[in-house]
Amino acid sequence: MNLKELIRSVRRIQFQTQNLSNQKRLGEVSSSFKGFGMSFSEVREYQFGDETRFIDWNVTARYNKPHVKVFEEEREQVNLLMIDVSKSLDYGSKLKTKKDIVTELLATIGFSCALNKDRVGAIFFSDRVECYFEPQVGLKNIWAIATKLMHWESPEKSSNLLNALSFLRSARLKKFRLFILSDFHFEQPEVQREALIKTKKNNRVYIINVGDEAEISMPRFGFYKLVNNETGLVTWHNGFSKRKLDLHEKHFEANKLFWKNESRKSRMHYLEVSNNEDVFKKLNGMIR
């Protein structure tokens, strides 16, 4: 996808999110993402018309009368998008690179939050923090982040979450929703996970794992050269060797399974997006 096509795609996503908002499918703050925008306020006695799913059974048992939890909308939510800009995101076997997918994810999430008058910020990271956008309100802010990302020249570096998460903690934001957009090709994923769990405290975390089918299902014939975008390391692979190809596929699948399982254990939301999927449709379940 060239730059003109990418800009056109971002504009299309902006139009789609605005269209949903106009149809009241996004609603106000509370429904920009499923389960977002509501905080606990108090417990009161049940009244006719209250939803039974909000009954507080402990209080109900104590007073022998049904009581329900009352929630209120949280205004001006803070949303942080932690975006991997390392060299591995430049890879793409079809019309889209993984960086193109990340840009579309940024646009879908960012415009949805901006239309609800939420603050949106971003951290571009590789093995260090490359760029920081302080959370602000407005569509102009989303375009500024998206434009920077579309023109970004990826450094020839590996990526990890440690420095980015450390920087985020130093920003001392009281409460936020964190979206991590990456292919999650990190060394020592267990260490990255532990750092992420510390950051998660009192915040909502969404792990969005971006991938390319060709990375996993490599051609099963011929000899071909593989170049590691981050390290420049060149290796030759024998496509006729079923054992080597199976090991390669198992490595990628094991990494995805690790993040999927750890997200579930730590109550972090997890989503996989590949280059053959419509990003807006993929996220539609989140933003309705």
Segment 106-129 mean pLDDT: 92
Least confident of 6-20, 215-229, 257-271: 215-229
Confidence of residue 35 (pLDDT cuts 50, 70, 90): very low
For residue 60, CA distances in Å to 23, 42, 49, 52, 249 come to 38, 14, 17, 12, 53
What's the mean per-residue pLDDT of the chain? 82
Q: Which residues pair with 38 in a beta bridge?
A: 73
Give the pLDDT of residue 243: 73
Give the pLDDT of residue 28: 41
Give the pLDDT of residue 260: 93
Give the pLDDT of residue 3: 85
Confidence of residue 103 (pLDDT cuts 50, 70, 90): very high
Sign of CA dihedral 16, 150, 199, 140: negative
Task: Indicate the residue type of 274.
Answer: S
The tokens of 76 are what?
């001006």
Strands 177-182 and 78-84, by their bridges, are parallel
Q: Which residue has the higher pLDDT, 38 or 283?
A: 283
From 203, 133, 202, 192, select the one nearest 166 (Cα to Cα): 192
Q: Which residues pair with 223 in a beta bridge?
A: 238
Confidence of residue 30 (pLDDT cuts 50, 70, 90): very low
Confidence of residue 237 (pLDDT cuts 50, 70, 90): low
In this structure, what is the dihedral angle of CA atoms 193, 160, 282, 215, given to the nearest 10 degrees?
-110
Domain boundaries, the chain: 3-23+75-287, 38-73
Least confident of 38-52, 53-67, 118-132, 135-149: 38-52
Residue 220 confidence (pLDDT) above 70: no
- pTM for the whole thing? 0.75
Least confident of 15-29, 46-60, 126-140, 177-191: 15-29
Q: Does domain 3-23+75-287 have CATH number 3.40.50.410?
A: yes
